[in-house]
Amino acid sequence: AQKVTQAQTEISVVEKEDVTLDCVYETRDTTYYLFWYKQPPSGELVFLIRRNSFDEQNEISGRYSWNFQKSTSSFNFTITASQVVDSAVYFCALSETGRGAQKLVFGQGTRLTINP
Amino acid sequence: SQTIHQWPATLVQPVGSPLSLECTVEGTSNPNLYWYRQAAGRGLQLLFYSVGIGQISSEVPQNLSASRPQDRQFILSSKKLLLSDSGFYLCAWVTGQGHYGYTFGSGTRLTVV
C-alpha cells in the first residue's frame, strides 16, 4: 500500500531563515502524483503544488521550491526567507488508485512555526 | 465557478446523539467526493469516498456512515456519536482522475462531549 512519511513533526525557525520540509513516499505504481497542501490555523487545506512521477524537474514559485527525487522517493519542500505568514501545518500527499477513484494518502503533517 | 460548501463550521454534540454533516459542490458534474477526518494534532484519514450517486466506499471501520443522495451532495452521518468521533471533518471533490488536485471544503470541527 502507498505510504507517505513526514518525519518532522514540528519545526520552529526564526523569520527569514530557510526551512526544508521532508517528505518520503512509498508506492508500487509507476504512475503517481505527489502534492503539497498548506493548512493555516483556520483549518482549510490550500493546494500548493502537484507533481507527476514522470517529471523530476524541480520547481520554484516565489519563495517556495520543491525537490522531487525518484531515486530516493522524496519530494521535499523548501521555503526561502521564511515569513510569519508561512506558519501552518504542511501536508505531503500521494495519489493512489483504488476501485475507480483516485485517493489521496496524506503524511502526518509538519507543523511549521516562524517566529518573528 | 466551482465551489464546495460544507456545514456546519463547528458542532458540539453529546455522546450518543446523532450526526449529519452535509457537503455540496457547485459548478461541476459527476465529481468524486471524499470525507476525511483529522484528529487533533494528527494527519488526515480518508473515511469514505464516492464515485457516483448511491456509491459509497468505506476506508476504515467506524461508527460513521456516508450517503450520496444526489450527484453533488455528500452526507456524513452517525446514529450515536462516540467521544472518539471528535475531530475536524473535511469534504473534498475532484473530477476525472484527480491528478489535478483535490478541492477541500472549509471543514467542520466536531466536539463530542
pLDDT at site B99: 58
Query: Could you read off the pLDDT of A64-103 as tens digits, one per residue?
Result: 999 999 999 999 999 999 999 999 999 999 987 655 667 8
Distance from CA of A80 to the nearest CA of B (A): 24
> What is the mean pLDDT of the segment spanning A24-52?
90
Task: Work out the percent of chain B whose per-residue pLDDT is above 90.
Answer: 69
- Contact yes or no for A45 and B104 at CB 8 A: yes
Residue B98 pLDDT class (50, 70, 90 cuts): low
Start-to-end CA span in chain A (Å): 41
Closest listed residue to residue A26, CA positions, set A65, A72, A78: A72
Q: Which residues of A touch B (CB under 8 A)?
A: 33, 35, 37, 42-45, 47, 50, 52, 91, 95, 98-109
- Contact yes or no for A43 and B34 at CB 8 A: no
CB atoms within 10 A of CB A39: 21
Which among A50, A52, A100 has the least Cβ separation from residue B51?
A100
Asked if the model's pLDDT at residue B97 lies above 60, the reply is no
> What is the mean pLDDT of the segment spanning A18-29?
95
The residues with which A20 forms a beta bridge, in sequence order, are: A78
pLDDT at site A113: 97
The residues with which B51 forms a beta bridge, in sequence order, are: none
- Contact yes or no for B102 and A47 at CB 8 A: yes
Closest listed residue to residue A105, CA positions, set A16, A20, A2, A27: A2
For chain A, what is the mean pLDDT?
A: 91
